[in-house]
């Protein structure tokens, strides 16, 4: 004879996923696929799900990064790398590639390691996730804004919607990204929230002459970011001068590692740029001395002797106070050293941050020590799970933020599916 407890075990699970982004969809699909008898409901506040997937990578969707060793992969996460180490041993970039390939969406690798769909269209990824959700019978409900969640004495969750409707479920996955509702729900359940602040942004530099060089790029440069009473941060890579300051991969990486530090200092900092990091300062000086000796009668503005864009060179000498007519033979050793200093250790004052296109990544979220990274379940509330950017995890640019979303969502989906 079946007793009541056994009968309850036989009842199909009702699972609700809040958040129709990359993590929400992937978690819902993984859950529904692992437990076909479960009822999986995916709630999205807006009318159009997967909005961030659509705009990512300039509309191409940087799905992941070709980095297949967990130890190497975690090095790309300013926050959360340690917690992800074990998670990546169970689902990482190669698994993401295989998953999408099995859905008929092959990915391609670019020279810098970023991976995109071969179609170069984010819509391919959107349709893939939408189709997979439909095939696994995930119930997608758009335009459903959650206002609160309570846990009932039965351990079920009661989800109250703005429409007045209440949904009940056995297990709940929060994949709300940086939306405040996710933090609010988690906090009400007793979770600590690391204050969310922007990550992955460009630097504003108030220097009209530098901004006039908008479009000039250098690869590589070495950047050093300093704020008072904090250890300096360094990064090497491509830099792009813009009409508001500087951008490019090196700047974005530096902004990610310095996100909290910069926020606390109100985005006021000093940026030191070595424009020719492959040369020692003395090597730069020797090259300039060679030009001075050979082209003494020539204008400094027209004969630079080092591998820099002409407009950038002119900016340097103007910044020092050298006129367009000044000749190499006329400059003192002090002035020569000033040029070397500008090239190797030029100082620029950061006065605010810009945006990184429409891709917004936050540093901060649910405290990781309160989450079991084998299952992504809350250590405080049984039946409550987390995935994606709601966690205090963020990666540098290059597909790493999506990879942490796929990984945490997949592990959460498998764990939720278990009876």
pLDDT in tens, 313-333: 999 999 999 998 999 999 999
Identify whether residues 209 and 321 lie together within a single domain.
yes
Q: What percentage of the chain carries pLDDT values higher than 70?
A: 97
Q: How many CA atoms lie within 13 A of 119 on its CB side?
A: 16
Q: Give the domain extent around 218.
A: 201-358
Residue 44: count other Cβ atoms within 10 Å of its Cβ.
24
Q: Is residue 8, in this structure, part of any structural domain at all? A: no
- Tens digits of per-residue pLDDT, 7-65? 445 679 999 999 999 999 999 999 999 999 999 999 999 999 999 999 999 999 999 99
Structure tokens at 46: 């807006």
pLDDT at 303 over 50: yes
| 108 burial level (CB within 10 Å; 0-12, 13-18, 19+) | middle
Identify whether residues 21 and 159 lie together within a single domain.
yes
Q: Is 166 helix (H, G, I), strand (E, B) or coil?
A: strand
From the centroid of its chain, how far is CA 216?
A: 25
Q: Is residue 5, in this structure, part of any structural domain at all? A: no
Identify whether residues 133 and 270 lie together within a single domain.
no
Asked which of 106-120, 296-310, 380-394, 400-414 is least confident by mean pLDDT, the reply is 296-310
Are the beta carbons of 160 and 56 closer than 8 angstroms? Answer: no
- For residue 60, the domain's CATH number is 3.50.50.60
Q: Does residue 112 have a cis peptide bond before it, meaning omega lies within 30 degrees of 0?
A: no
What pTM value is reported for the model? 0.92
Confidence class of residue 305 from pLDDT cuts 50, 70 and 90?
Answer: confident
Confidence class of residue 356 from pLDDT cuts 50, 70 and 90?
Answer: low
Confidence class of residue 357 from pLDDT cuts 50, 70 and 90?
Answer: low
Q: What percentage of the chain carries pLDDT values higher than 90?
A: 94
């Amino acid at each position: 004879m079946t007793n009541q407890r056994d009968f309850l075990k036989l009842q199909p699970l009702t699972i609700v996923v809040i958040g129709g982004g990359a993590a929400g969809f992937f978690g819902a699909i993984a859950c529904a696929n692992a437990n076909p008898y479960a009822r999986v409901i995916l709630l999205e506040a807006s009318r159009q799900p997967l909005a961030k997937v659509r705009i990512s990578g300039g509309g191409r969707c940087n799905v992941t990064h070709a980095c297949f060793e967990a130890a190497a992969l975690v090095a790309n996460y300013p926050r959360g790398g340690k917690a992800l180490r074990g998670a990546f041993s169970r689902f990482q970039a190669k698994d993401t590639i295989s998953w999408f390939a099995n859905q008929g969406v092959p990915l391609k690798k670019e020279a810098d390691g970023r991976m995109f769909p071969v179609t170069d269209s984010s819509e391919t990824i959107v349709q893939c996730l939408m189709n997979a959700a439909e095939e696994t019978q995930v119930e997608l409900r758009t335009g459903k804004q959650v206002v609160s969640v309570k846990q009932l004495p039965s351990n079920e969750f009661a989800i109250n919607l703005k429409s007045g409707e209440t949904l009940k479920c056995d297990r709940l996955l929060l994949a709300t990204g940086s939306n405040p509702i996710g933090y609010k729900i988690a906090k009400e359940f007793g979770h600590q929230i690391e204050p969310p602040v922007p990550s992955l942004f460009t630097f504003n530099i108030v220097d009209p002459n530098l901004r006039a060089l908008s479009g000039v790029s250098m690869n590589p440069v070495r950047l050093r970011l300093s704020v008072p009473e904090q250890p300096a941060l360094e990064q090497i890579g491509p830099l792009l001068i813009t009409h508001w300051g500087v951008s490019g991969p090196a700047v974005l990486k530096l902004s990610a590692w310095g996100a909290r530090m910069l926020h606390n200092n109100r985005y006021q900092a000093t940026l030191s740029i070595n424009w020719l990091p492959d040369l020692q300062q003395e090597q730069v000086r020797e090259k300039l001395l060679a030009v001075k000796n050979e082209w003494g009668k020539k204008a400094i503005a027209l004969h630079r002797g080092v591998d820099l864009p002409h407009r950038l060179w002119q900016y340097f000498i103007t910044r020092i106070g050298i006129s367009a007519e000044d000749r190499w033979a006329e400059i003192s050793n002090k002035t020569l050293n000033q040029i070397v200093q500008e090239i190797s250790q030029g100082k620029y004052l950061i006065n605010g941050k810009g945006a990184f296109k429409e891709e917004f990544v936050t540093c901060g979220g649910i405290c990781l020590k309160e989450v079991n990274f084998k299952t992504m379940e809350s250590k405080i509330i049984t039946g409550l799970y987390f995935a994606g950017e709601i966690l205090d995890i963020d990666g540098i640019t290059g597909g790493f933020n999506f990879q942490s979303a796929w990984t945490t969502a997949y592990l959460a989906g498998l764990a939720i599916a278990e009876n």
